[in-house]
Amino acid sequence: MNPPFLILETGQPVASMRRHRGFPHWIRVAAGLDRDEAVVVNVEHGEPLPSREGFAGAIVTGSGAMVTDRADWSERSAAWLREAAHARLPLFGICYGHQLLAHALGGEVGNHPAGREMGTIGLELHASAGDDPLFAGLPNQFPAQATHLQTVLRAPEGATVLARSAHDACHAFRWGENAWGVQFHPEFSATHMRGYVRARQDALRNEGHCPRTIAGSVSATPFARRVLRRFVGHARALHGR
């Protein structure tokens, strides 16, 4: 039997999307993991962080929380991630998880100077992605789903920035050989993304954006999902050595 992946649950989807269940379910389905191949720990609700022993890797979900609030559960999770990264446990942080991992490893997280990024956005890979285990061979440009206000303002020392968008200079990074953060949401389907746009339509209008235009441009993002599945394959291959 394959060792399970640990999913650190750091938040819940917007209320209108909870009928589709929570982030861990979305991630498990997108990653191609069976139910018994993932163990979920709701760190936001105070569930204790387990020993990293026996896990193929760990995936950190998105959240409506802010890393800069330095909530106790978030800081405990950051300390766990720091130790896990140095122990070379494969790690994959998504959105809040991306920012939390960057913070844990000494990077800087804060409000994006240009505000919100939302919808199906265009990613551009840096040349450094060409030999990355998760990004190698993907198109130099491909779409991904995104929704965030905060960002990684400065990647951790020694990290390799792998992707950017027109809005955000650090949409993906790798630290060491086995730790990745992605600002985009590889687990989001087009349905998830449109639901988020509807939920944030008042905020988008107040910020000068057109929710209808953003929702109308939402599309499938198969290459973004492939990054998540490659992480699973990479972690399993390491465990099998």
Active site residues: 95, 185, 187
The angle subtended at Cα 123 by Cα 161 and Cα 216, nearest 5°, is: 150
What is the Cβ-side half-sphere exposure of residue 178, based on CA atoms within 13 angstroms?
23
The helix or strand, by DSSP H or E, that contains position 239, with its residue range, turns out to be helix 222-239
* Best CA proximity match to 59, nearest among 37, 198, 73, 161: 37
The Cα–Cα gap between 60 and 7 comes to 6
* Best CA proximity match to 98, nearest among 112, 119, 87: 112
3-state SS class at 168:
coil
The angle subtended at Cα 222 by Cα 221 and Cα 228, nearest 5°, is: 105
CA end-to-end distance (rounded Å), the chain: 15
* Best CA proximity match to 119, nearest among 221, 12, 20, 217: 217
The Cα–Cα gap between 194 and 13 comes to 13
Structure tokens at 141: 């440009």
